[in-house]
A and B are shown apart, each in its own frame.
Chain A
Amino acid sequence: MPPKHTVVLDARAMERTVKRMADEIVEANAGTEGLILVGIQRRGVQLAERLMRAIRDAENVDVPRGALDITLYRDDLQTVGPRPVVGPTSLPANIDGKRVVIVDDVLYTGRTVRAALDELADFGRPARIQLAVLVDRGGRELPIQPDIVGKRLEVPDGGHVDVFVTELDDRDAVILVPGAEDA
């Protein structure tokens, strides 16, 4: 019997969550001055775009946003698969002295964020780096914590979290898939 999937966030809940995250980012930075949103490829890029739109709606300001592909900074080249796909990295401006918010869909082991920090350091020296994630599912393997969290989840052993965004998957949803032993 396949594991039972649970919809943690549907499209409307996801929209509300992103709006709240946008408010928290503006509040934590006392405005938008010097702020840059950088999404981690791939779904982090769509979330950064949505956060930018939410900030524009609330503050009437366009915050620059960019994309970071961390594939070449991973510490597991031998395990990335027979067809490792490298995506584009593009930062909107010089990040020296800026407040950079790294955006990703799910925070799990923390290794992706570590790679993102390494990559950002090759582009410059921001005044501050923060981490915003749609879902924090726990299970960290590195001492990395998010600053802004959309949803915290307890994921049972063997389970995983899938994030779907309309731009790539034709729907918005966060799904919790328990491990086979939990079905």
Chain B
Amino acid sequence: MTGATRLGKDLLALEPLSPEQIRLILDTAEPFREISERAIKKVPTLRGQTVVNLFFEASTRTRISFEFAEKRMSADTVSIAASGSSVAKGETLVDTARNLEAMRIDMVVVRHGSSGAAQFLAERIESNVINAGDGTHEHPTQGLLDLLTLRHRFGSLEGRRVCIVGDVLHSRVARSNIWGLKKLGAQVGVCGPRSLLPNAIDELGVEVFDRVEAAIEWAEALNVLRLQLERMQAGYIPSLREYNRVFGVTRERLERAPGDMLILHPGPMNRGVEIDSDVADGPHSVILDQVTNGVAVRMAVLYLLAGGRPELAEAAKSAGKGRGGDA
């Protein structure tokens, strides 16, 4: 039980976390999966704590997943969307958060269109900050739920080959996946049109595939990313049909995979573009497992950030309450 395995005040990204810290979150998330199976899906752990979900960007599944996680831990929650708040009147991120903090909140879950916004906020407020996606930087809880889903199926990620397919350039999910997978010993590939891969992708230590057939031949799991249709006006690809023809994950292509293949997708899916329906709903798909694991991972992060003040733990241990026996 060392300081290195403890999470700090905030969860902002997977890049700065140690493998032990990532494993701590995943190990903690495992038993939380069972809580969602109970008749009463609620534990009193965060009773009395207030969590604010501050979403400056549209999001349905991430926001709802966090809300479920918070409510299942018995926290009081408030969700604020930028469009209906003082942000629409020009209030800054920090002013919004400081005003909320003056109402004695404990944690902030923030999604923002600018990379670095979560860190900017975390450095200026005392509440715990959880990054729910910032610009094209990271989406750490999505990365963690992908890791949990893969680890659950594979047992261990050591030496496993996972390929991220699609719009890596604009994807914060891809960045969190790359950091997390590599820290847990997996081999990582990326596949997509060169126009949708970052220039310096080779420096991240990943295999690069220009053909999805080659990626399928190499990988044991494909994490298929949403083609961000809102960006397609910028001319990154010739057309959606062309993209599907060259990079779409289809049943015919998967049938040529040498072994069993896991299919992940962070959603929402463009069916018939980056992934075909018979793949998304087929036997290889773990997409709904990802959704279930998302709640468990977020419960684990809330739990780990809210608890565990080491000085109090030491005091409790020296009082004889810390080991198997007295209770």
Residues of A within 8 A of B (CB): 40, 42-43, 69, 72-73, 76-90, 104-109, 111-113, 118-119, 122-124, 137, 158-164, 168-169
| Residues of A close to B89: CB separation below 8 A | none
Partner of A80, one of B32, B43, B46, B307: B307
> Nearest residue in B to A135 (C-beta to C-beta)?
B325
B316 contacts partner chain A, Cβ-Cβ < 8 Å: yes
B103 contacts partner chain A, Cβ-Cβ < 8 Å: no
In the complex, A122→B313 CA distance in Å? 28
B6 contacts partner chain A, Cβ-Cβ < 8 Å: yes
B324 contacts partner chain A, Cβ-Cβ < 8 Å: yes
Partner of A163, one of B34, B35, B316, B325: B325
> Nearest residue in A to B43 (C-beta to C-beta)?
A72
CB pair A86–B303 under 8 Å, yes or no, is yes
CB pair A123–B327 under 8 Å, yes or no, is no
Residues of B within 8 A of A (CB): 1, 3, 5-6, 24, 27-28, 30-32, 34-35, 38-40, 42-46, 73, 303-304, 306-310, 312-313, 315-317, 320-327
CB pair A112–B39 under 8 Å, yes or no, is no
In the complex, A105→B324 CA distance in Å? 8
CB pair A79–B320 under 8 Å, yes or no, is no
| Residues of B close to A113: CB separation below 8 A | 327
In the complex, A82→B31 CA distance in Å? 18
A-B contact pairs, 24 of them (CB 8 A): A72-B35, A72-B73, A73-B45, A77-B308, A78-B307, A78-B308, A78-B312, A79-B309, A79-B316, A80-B313, A81-B317, A82-B6, A82-B309, A83-B1, A84-B303, A86-B31, A87-B31, A88-B34, A111-B327, A113-B327, A119-B43, A122-B38, A122-B39, A169-B324
In the complex, A15→B3 CA distance in Å? 40
CB pair A108–B326 under 8 Å, yes or no, is yes
| Residues of A close to B27: CB separation below 8 A | 85
| Residues of B close to A82: CB separation below 8 A | 1, 3, 5-6, 308-310, 313
> How distant is A2 from chain B, measured CB to nearest CB, in Å?
15
In the complex, A164→B325 CA distance in Å? 8
Partner of A69, one of B31, B46, B324: B31
In the complex, A78→B317 CA distance in Å? 13
CB pair B312–A79 under 8 Å, yes or no, is yes
| Residues of A close to B309: CB separation below 8 A | 78-79, 82
| Residues of B close to A106: CB separation below 8 A | 325-327
CB pair B324–A43 under 8 Å, yes or no, is yes
| Residues of B close to A79: CB separation below 8 A | 309, 312-313, 315-316
> Nearest residue in B to A177 (C-beta to C-beta)?
B320
| Residues of B close to A118: CB separation below 8 A | 44
Given contacts A72-B35, A104-B327, A161-B326, 5 further A-B contacts (CB under 8 A): A82-B309, A137-B326, A158-B320, A160-B326, A162-B323
Query: Which of the listed residues B38, B46, B313, B316 has the most CB atoms from chain A within 10 Å of its own CB?
Result: B313
In the complex, A122→B103 CA distance in Å? 31
In the complex, A164→B309 CA distance in Å? 28
| Residues of B close to A160: CB separation below 8 A | 320, 323, 325-326
> How distant is A180 from chain B, measured CB to nearest CB, in Å?
11
In the complex, A29→B132 CA distance in Å? 52
